């Protein structure tokens, strides 16, 4: 499979997970199970004629655009500019993100803007949900990957947990891109080898052992859950993303993160046509996402 197909799978995989989860965000698994008992039901009858993505994909496009424009020279200010320019308040941003983006828009430096709502920085999953393009662009260069995780996170997320979540998702996406369909145990070992924050190591031990898939917006909850689903359903994009959606809670973001990993592993054609075919069209929809992926291949030059 070509690298392009995998990069497209990563970006479209993120967007489809986000858009599928969005209508079910905040519900309980039991409520969702009444209409969707399993991932096959989500393939047979997606929630909506048009699947509209949310802040996760909109911000991931901002990351991809900063990389397209500036390549490895992209700085925190370049990422910030894209996030602000792309902001569409109908896409379900959290309150802290909106405050940070407003501050950035008024010229506040990224490091300050990221602390204007939460003085210790947000420990939410907002940096992790959008980071996949960094993993796709720098899959062969862990040093550049780390640098651009930090720079792309900085404008909105200063808390160590938020950045750790983004690091782990970016590394997982890079691993998926370079290893293709991966062995669950090898993937779990790789992820564990990248952990820096002890709290994440403990959480990953739990979820990798099948204990407690948390669905809150905290990076420490939702990131390990997405990684655990990517491992458990390593053989199938639709199963992994479907199970992420069925969890409810912050399921658009969990499905976006698992979708980026499994999409990069299996490529564009592994995304069910019933999902990709309904992904929103329009100037920043399906076609634009494919194009953004094309520009990511080679953004690392």
CB of 186 to Mg ion, least distance (A): 30
Q: Which stretch binds Mg ion (CB under 5 A): 68-76, 146-154, 244-252, 261-269?
A: 244-252
Number of residues interacting with Mg ion: please give it, by CB under 5 A.
5
CB of 229 to Mg ion, least distance (A): 17
CB of 91 to Mg ion, least distance (A): 7
Query: Should residue 54 be labelled a site residue for Mg ion when binding is judged by CB under 5 A?
Result: yes
3-state SS, residue 55: helix
Is residue 15 within 8 Å of residue 279, measured between CB atoms? yes
CB of 94 to Mg ion, least distance (A): 8
Q: Which residue is nearest to Mg ion (CB)?
A: 54
Closest to Mg ion by CB, 89 or 301? 89
Closest to Mg ion by CB, 221 or 252? 252
Burial class of residue 225 in the structure, from the number of CB atoms within 10 Å of its CB (0-12 exposed, 13-18 middle, 19+ buried): buried
Handedness of CA 45, 47, 49, 50 (dihedral sign): negative
Query: Should residue 164 be labelled a site residue for Mg ion when binding is judged by CB under 5 A?
Result: no
Distance between CA 290 and CA 301 in Å, rounded? Answer: 20
CB of 21 to Mg ion, least distance (A): 8
CB of 217 to Mg ion, least distance (A): 9
Closest to Mg ion by CB, 53 or 208? 53
CA–CA distance from 39 to each of 42, 48, 132, 244, 263 (Å)?
A: 5, 15, 23, 9, 16
Query: Should residue 55 be labelled a site residue for Mg ion when binding is judged by CB under 5 A?
Result: yes
Closest to Mg ion by CB, 113 or 255? 255
Q: Which stretch binds Mg ion (CB under 5 A): 26-34, 84-92, 103-111, 139-147?
A: 84-92
Of 75, 122, 74, the residue nearest 101 (C-alpha):
122
Among 139, 252, 270, 285, binds Mg ion (CB under 5 A): 252
29-37 long-range contacts, CB within 8 A, separation 24+: 29/246, 29/247, 29/248, 31/248, 32/245, 32/246, 32/248, 33/246, 36/245, 36/246
Query: Should residue 221 be labelled a site residue for Mg ion when binding is judged by CB under 5 A?
Result: no
| Residue 4: both structure tokens together | 């392009």
Query: Should residue 250 be labelled a site residue for Mg ion when binding is judged by CB under 5 A?
Result: no
Among 56, 58, 65, 164, binds Mg ion (CB under 5 A): 56
CB of 58 to Mg ion, least distance (A): 9
CA–CA distance from 109 to each of 22, 80, 169, 203, 220 (Å)?
A: 31, 9, 25, 33, 26
Instruction: Give the alpha-carbon dihedral of 23, 24, 25, 28, to 10 degrees.
Output: 160
CB of 287 to Mg ion, least distance (A): 21
Closest to Mg ion by CB, 29 or 92? 92
Residues lying near Mg ion in the complex (CB under 5 A) are found at 54-56, 92, 252
């Amino acid at each position: 499979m070509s690298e392009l197909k995998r990069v497209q799978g990563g970006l479209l995989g993120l967007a489809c997970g986000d858009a599928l989860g969005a209508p079910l965000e905040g519900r309980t698994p039991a409520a969702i199970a009444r209409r969707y008992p399993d991932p096959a039901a989500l393939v047979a009858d997606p929630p909506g004629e048009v699947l509209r993505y949310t802040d996760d994909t909109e911000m991931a496009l901002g990351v991809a655009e900063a990389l397209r424009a500036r390549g490895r020279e992209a700085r925190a200010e370049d990422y910030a500019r894209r996030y602000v320019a792309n902001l569409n308040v109908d896409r379900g941003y959290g309150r802290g993100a909106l405050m940070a983006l407003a501050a950035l828009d008024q010229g506040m430096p990224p490091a300050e803007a990221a602390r204007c709502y939460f003085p210790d920085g947000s420990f939410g999953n907002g940096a992790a949900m959008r980071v996949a393009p960094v993993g796709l662009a720098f899959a062969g260069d862990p040093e550049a990957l780390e640098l651009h995780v930090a720079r792309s996170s900085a404008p909105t997320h200063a808390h160590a947990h938020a950045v750790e979540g983004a690091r782990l998702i970016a590394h997982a996406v890079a691993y998926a891109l370079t290893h293709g369909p991966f062995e669950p145990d090898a993937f779990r070992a790789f992820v564990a080898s990248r952990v820096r924050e002890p709290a994440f190591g403990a959480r990953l031990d739990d979820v990798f052992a099948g204990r407690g898939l948390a669905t809150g917006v905290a990076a420490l909850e939702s990131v390990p859950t997405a990684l655990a689903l990517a491992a458990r359903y390593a053989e199938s994009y639709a199963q992994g993303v479907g199970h992420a959606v069925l969890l409810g809670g912050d399921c658009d973001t969990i499905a976006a993160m698992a979708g980026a990993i499994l999409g990069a592993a299996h490529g564009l054609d592994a995304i069910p046509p019933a999902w990709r075919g309904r992904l929103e069209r329009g100037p920043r929809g399906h076609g634009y996402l494919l194009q953004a992926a094309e520009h990511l291949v080679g953004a690392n030059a």
